[in-house]
Amino acid sequence: MTAKRITNSAGSTNSSRGDVLRVLGELKVATTDQIQRIGAPHLSFRHADKQPPSKEKQARTAAHTGALSDLRAYGLSENGGSTQTGESLRNLTLRAWKPPPTSCGAP
């Protein structure tokens, strides 16, 4: 019998959540666009035909926005203000900086 798969409400993947955790672990604070450009630079050329540019950016960063939403639901990320242009800044919570608990009492 197989265990039921736990799904994330925003539909993010392990890969996109990993990108977010890696980038925010280094930069401490970043916009979704910065996370996407650093964590998955190959996606920068995706949706280049969408108009206006804001729709292109929204489509390009959708995966990482979903990952941030799921991490926020787990208490690992939060919104940390906004830039002068109105983009949301994201950062990790203190809970995300703690090491994961050990299983089976192993150190």
Around 15, how many Cα atoms within 13 Å sit in the side-chain half-sphere?
A: 4
- Residue 30 · residue 20 · CB < 8 Å: no
The mean pLDDT values, 10 residues at a time, for the chain of 107 residues are: 67 90 94 92 74 83 92 93 93 88 60
Each residue of 2-12: pLDDT tens digit?
555 567 888 88
